Amino acid sequence: MILSLSSPAISQQNIQRPKLVVGIVVDQMRWDYLYRFYDRYDKDGGFKRMLNNGYSCENTLIPYTPTVTACGHSTIYTGSVPGITGITGNAWWDKEQMRTVYCTEDNSVSTVGSPSSAGQMSPANLLTTTICDELRLATNFQSKVIGISIKDRGGILPAGHSANAAYWYDPSIGKWITSSYYMRTLPTWVSTFNNLNLVDKYFKEGWELLYPANTYIQSTTDDKPYESKPFGAKFPYDLKKFIGKDFSKISATPMGNSFTAEFAKAAILNEQLGSDNNTDFLAVSFSSPDYIGHTFGPNSVESEDGFLRLDKELGSFLNFLDKNIGKEQYTVFLSADHGVAHTPEFMEENKLAAGRVFMNDIVRQLNTSLEEKYKIKKIIVSNHNYQLHLNHPAIDSAKVDLKELTNWIVKYMSGQPGIVNVFALADLNTVPLNNTIRTMLNNGYYPTRSGDIQLILKPNYIDAYSNTGTTHGLWNPYDTHIPLLWYGWGIKEGKTNRETYMTDIAPTIAALLKIQMPNGNVGQVITEVLK
């Protein structure tokens, strides 16, 4: 593809804009990773290049809970919060439908590119526009928008309702797919890319450490008992046994990032993004850091190696943009959808308070006690997103006093180890509570998609499903303090330590592009970033 590099940017009726905006979300990246591994990042890698030649918002925070993938991606691109977008979790209990709803599920569409149901997805559950939608509107739908992520929600929610395409990974076949919401058949270039069978090639290469093992001094020793072991005991990981069999395993390796980056490059070339007089938008989410972090923990050798490799991958991607779009012809921002808590056992072995709360087990026991007391089966129908959801039709039919029942549950849950606060969400604005936490809970509340009773865990206590790995989702800084880097066309060099928020990203892009902000936006323009 040949692009003109002569003009400083697109000029449409004398409005200066970059040729391409690239939004990069690193799934599960704590802000401190920028500096924890800074000395080890490549001088030509992505993180140092963006930190030293771009603008860094050092104190960017997530202003809501729960801090999970779907909420993070939707908030970054809408400038809004779950209480407005309706994306209250990766999944939620829907009070109107009386069932669990996945954030991007859509049974009215079909999979394109696979015989599985993995493509029955769309942005239908997202109630607001994204900045990508607004760009499409501003250019009368002449701008192209494409979303890419291993996770369906990481590609679909950022790209918005009017995107030309969103692509995600189907682990049942090891290929990129989409849904009939966007198109009837895969473009030829996607099929050609899929036929490269890169996943099997990555499996053949295996996962070895990038550098000598004794240089990973920012990590614990390899092979800790509280780490999950999907590949074997410790490095190097021989992945040949997964060739042609278990394509899901690629997601929890750094090669998942390489796979995503290569597909993003192919999209730019084949869709000719940034090649005409309308600004295009590529929304890319790197999902593998989340899979690695959940599996091994943020202090693992695997996580450190993953970020050192991602740094190189980002550097290569920026070089690709320089060559194919042109230096100073594109704008990039990089952020994260959430952070992560340290593995509890890692904290404990270093004399720091932490623990696991096995919420599913507690709820099962609670339902048993409630059935004995009220003669109603499964009064608690869900514990999604650190909230308990009650079976209101059954409670109403039995003529049980809701307030009495709620108080009984609150008292029961208050006695569970690791839970520091429990209260009815109806009392959110009257119970004694830190104002920051209260605001975050309010920002995450959407009536028909949120629960009845809120649970708050002690710091570094996690909602666990096993005795290994870790997770995220709470109000604490390890989950909510995220990186925010800006680079390229229209961006100053520098940094700020003032508080900025995830919701500020979309309106800042809107200001950069001179277009309307998304229709649910509550964020503010970060004026320091813009030239």
Catalytic residues: 69
Buried b (16+ CB within 10 A) or exposed e, 250-282: bbbbbbbbbbbbbbbbbbbeebebbbeebbbbb
Backbone dihedral angles phi then psi of residue 160, each to the nearest 5 degrees: 85, -170
Q: What is the 3-state secondary structure (H, E, C) of 62-128?
A: CCCCCCCHHHHHHHHHHCCCHHHHCCCCCEEEECCCCEEEECCECCCCCEECCCCCCCCECCCCCCC
Residue 464 tokens, joined: 């666990």
Which residue shows structure tokens 């490269």? 196
E-state strands within 231-386: 280-286, 330-336, 355-357, 380-382
3-state secondary structure of 10: strand
Q: How far apart are CA 171 and CA 116, in angstroms?
A: 10
Q: Which helix (H) or strand (E) holds 388?
A: strand 387-390
- DSSP-H helix ranges across 325-386: 344-349, 359-374
Amino acid letter, residue 181: Y
3-state secondary structure of 529: helix
What DSSP character marks residue 191? H
Q: How far apart are CA 426 and CA 387, in angstroms?
A: 12
- DSSP-H helix ranges across 282-300: 288-296
Q: Count of alpha carbons within 13 Å of 278, Cβ hemisphere only?
A: 15
8 A C-beta contact, residue 190 and residue 114 = no
Backbone dihedral angles phi then psi of residue 337, each to the nearest 5 degrees: -85, -20
Q: How far apart are CA 316 and CA 404, in angstroms?
A: 60
445 torsion bin: left (phi>0), alpha (psi -120 to 50), beta (else): beta
